[in-house]
Structure 1
Amino acid sequence: MNERTSRQSHDQQPFVRASYSIGELARRTGLTVKKIRFYSDRGIVTPAERTPAGYRRYGPEAVARLALVRTLRELGLGLDVIRRVTNQELTLGQVAAEHAAALNAQISILRLRQAVLTAAAGREPTFEEMERMHQLATLSEAERRRLIGEFLDAVFDGRHTMSGRAGVRRSMTPELPDSPTQEQVEAWVELAEMSLDPGFRDVMRSLVEDHMADLPDGAGTPPRPDVVAVARELVQAAVSSGISPDSPQADPVVATLTTQCALAAGRTDDAQPHHWLLHRLEAASDPRRDRYFDRLAVINDWPAPEPLAPLIDWSVQALRARAAR
C-alpha cells in the first residue's frame, strides 16, 4: 500500500468520540460518583451512551456541563432552575438577575433579624418587648408611614397643614431606605418605639407648640429665629469655656440670652422674661428630644445633629440660679 492509499484509508475511518466512565468524570470534575449519578438521574447531565454491560459513558461536554452545575449549586440555585439553564430554556443572565433579586430580599430579612437581635442583646427585653421590636422591624413601607403619620398627627394635633407646620413636620419624618443598613434598622426600631410612647408624644407636642408660638402670625412677616436655636448659639461659647452657669461670669451671657430670646419670640414687653424663657427651655431639655433627632438623622442619612441637651441644661441652670436670687 503506497502512502496515498494509506492516507485515504485513514481518512475514511470513522471518528471516535472521546467518552468517560462515571468514575473518570468524577476525577475530572471533583464531584463524587454518587452526585454525578444523581444529576444524571435528574436529567441535568445525560450519558452519551451505555456500554453493552449497561455502564454509562459521558461525552466531553459533560465535564463543562458539570462544572456549570457545581457553580450554580454553590450560588444557591435549585435543580429545576439548573436543568432549565443546562437545557437552554433560560439564559444565565436571566437566572442571575432573578437570583440576585431573591438574595437581596433574603439579605434584607437577615439584616432586619440581626438588627432586632443586636438591639435586644443590649437591653434584656421581655418577651413582649422582643415581639414588638420584631414587628416594628418588619413593617412594610406603608405600615411604617402609617405609624409615623399617626405619631406626627398627635404631635401636631392634626394641624400640620397650617402655615409653617408642614415644613417642620417634614423635618421630623423618617424615611427608611429600601436597602437599609443595620444601623438604620436599629435606629428605626428605636425611633418607632419612641413614637408609640404617649409620654414622648406629649413632650414632642409641647416642643412643637412652643416652636410654632415663636413663629410670626402674618403671612408676609419674615420668620424669626427659633428660641432654642438662639439659646444654642449664645450659650455654646460659655459651655465650651467651662463657665459655670451660676457664676458671675455667666451674668452677661444670661442677660444677652434673655434679651435675644425675647426678641426672637416677639416678647420684648414681657415683665418676667426669665420665667417664660426658663419654662420654654425646660420643655426643650428632655434628652429624648435629642435621641429622636439623632435616630432620625441616621435613618435619613443626614449629618448627625449637635446635641442640645448640654447647652439647654446650662441655660436652665443659669436661669434658675438667677430666679432664686
Structure 2
Amino acid sequence: MDEDGLLTIGVLARRTGLTVKAIRYYSDTGLVPSTDRTAAGYRRYGAEALARLELVRTLRELGLGLDAVRRVLERQETLARVARAHADAIDLRIRTLCRQRAVLRAVAEHGTDPEETALMHRLLRLSAEERRRLIEEFVDDTFGTADANPELVAVLRAAVPELPEDPGTEQLTAWAELAELTGDQDFRAALRRMAAYQAEQRAEGDTTGLHHELTERVRESVGAALAAGTAPGSPAAAVVVAELTARYAEAFGRPDDAALRGWILRRLEVAADPRVERYWALLSRINGWPAPPELAPVFAWFAAALRAAG
C-alpha cells in the first residue's frame, strides 16, 4: 500500500486471491477501474476497488456471468433479483443433470441399446403436464370412447406418473415401459373391448361402480386356496366358489344361480389381460406406491373353479 492508501495491482492480487491477469482484465472491462496510475503507468486501486473485486470474485465463483455481475455493480439490478434468477437457472441445470445421470445409470445397469436409450432420454424430458396429457389421451382412446364405469375412468385419469426430479433406474425403466405400453395398439384395443363390456353392463342396469371389498374378498379366499394347493375342480374349491358367488349375488342384487356363475366367468374373461396388471405395477413403481397385489393367478384360479363347477 502506498502512502496515500492506494494499492498496487500486486497487493490487490494478494488481498483477493485473484491473479494479476484477472484483475487487469476486470479493470480493462470497466468492472473494477483503477483509481489512478503511477508516473511509470502502473495502476493503483482504492478501497472501493478492493470491495468491488471481492464481490466480483464471489459472484463469479457462484457462476454468474460477467453481464450479470456488471448489472449488479452498476446498480441496474439488485443483487437479490440476480441471485434469484441465477438460482432458478441452477435448479434447472441440476434437474437436467439428474435426468441425464438417470439415463446413463439405466444404460449401464440394463445394457439398453441405442434406440432404447434415445427413447428413455426423450421420455424423461417430458414435463409433468406432458405426462398427464399422455395418460389422458390413452384413457380417452380406450375407456373414454364408451359409457364405461365412470369410477374406473376417474381413477385412470387421476393416476398420472409422477416421476421425481432425480429418478432411480427402476423408475426410469418403468416409465419407459409404461409409455411403450400405453402406445401399444393391441393393448388399447383390448381395453376398448373391456370398456364396451362395461357399457353393455351399464345399459342393462348395472351402475354399482367399483367393488374393492368384493375384489379383496376374492383375493383372500382364492389366495388361501392357492396357498393350500387346492385344485380348481376339487370339492374344497366348490366350497370357495359357493362362498364367493353368494357375495357376488349380494353385491349385484342377482340370484345366486348358474346364470350368475356364467356372468361372473365372463367378467373374469373380459378382464383377463395381464397387461392391465402390468400397467398398475409400473405406475406404482414410478410413483413410489406400494406394489399392487398380484391378481392374475387369483382370477385365473377362480375362473377355472367356476368352469369346473359347471
TM-score by length of 1: 0.76
Q: What amino acid maps onto 1:243 in structure 2?
A: A
Contact kept in structure 1, 2:128 and 2:162, CA below 8 Å: no
Q: What amino acid maps onto 2:124 in structure 1?
A: A
- 2:229 corresponds, among 233, 244, 248, to 244
Q: CA deviation at 1:270?
A: 5.9
Which SS does the other structure have where 1:57 is aligned?
strand
In structure 1, C-alpha distance between the alignment counterparts of 2:132 and 2:182, rounded to whole Å: 12
Do the aligned partners of residues 181 and 205 (structure 1) sit closer, same or farther apart at CA in structure 2, a change above 3 Å counting? Answer: farther
Which structure: greater helix fraction? 2
Contact kept in structure 1, 2:16 and 2:50, CA below 8 Å: yes
In structure 1, C-alpha distance between the alignment counterparts of 2:42 and 2:116, rounded to whole Å: 62
Partner in structure 1 of residue 216 of structure 2: 232
Q: What amino acid maps onto 1:26 in structure 2?
A: A
Q: CA deviation at 1:128?
A: 3.0
- Matched ranges for 1:39-54 at <5 A: 39-54=26-41
* CA offsets 1:212-262 (integer angstroms, 9 cap, x no match): 5555865xx872553x75233233255268322416544422222233235
In structure 1, C-alpha distance between the alignment counterparts of 2:153 and 2:48, rounded to whole Å: 64
Give structure 1 regions of 4+ aligned residues with deviation exceeding 6 angstroms.
none
Q: What amino acid maps onto 1:171 in structure 2?
A: V
| Pair 1:34-2:18 in alignment | no
Contact kept in structure 1, 2:149 and 2:209, CA below 8 Å: no
* CA offsets 1:173-200 (integer angstroms, 9 cap, x no match): 3445697452566654432221111122
| Pair 1:323-2:299 in alignment | no
Q: CA deviation at 1:88?
A: 1.7
- Matched ranges for 1:93-112 at <5 A: 93-112=80-99
Q: CA deviation at 1:151?
A: 1.5
| Pair 1:291-2:275 in alignment | no
Contact kept in structure 2, 1:85 and 1:92, CA below 8 Å: yes
| Larger Cα-atom Rg | 1
| Pair 1:117-2:101 in alignment | no
In structure 1, C-alpha distance between the alignment counterparts of 2:161 and 2:299, rounded to whole Å: 34
Percent sequence identity is 41
Do the aligned partners of residues 209 and 158 (structure 1) sit closer, same or farther apart at CA in structure 2, a change above 3 Å counting? Answer: closer
Partner in structure 2 of residue 10 of structure 1: none
Partner in structure 2 of residue 306 of structure 1: 292
What's the C-alpha RMSD, in Å, of the aligned pairs?
3.5
Contact kept in structure 2, 1:244 and 1:250, CA below 8 Å: no
Which SS does the other structure have where 2:40 is aligned?
coil
In structure 2, C-alpha distance between the alignment counterparts of 1:293 and 1:21, rounded to whole Å: 70
Q: CA deviation at 1:38?
A: 2.0
Which SS does the other structure have where 2:258 is aligned?
coil
Which SS does the other structure have where 2:5 is aligned?
coil
Contact kept in structure 2, 1:112 and 1:185, CA below 8 Å: no
- 2:154 corresponds, among 170, 189, 202, to 170
| Pair 1:182-2:161 in alignment | no
Q: CA deviation at 1:210?
A: 4.6
Q: What amino acid maps onto 1:304 in structure 2?
A: P
Contact kept in structure 2, 1:214 and 1:266, CA below 8 Å: no
TM-score by length of 2: 0.79
Q: CA deviation at 1:17?
A: 4.3
In structure 2, C-alpha distance between the alignment counterparts of 1:307 and 1:147, rounded to whole Å: 25
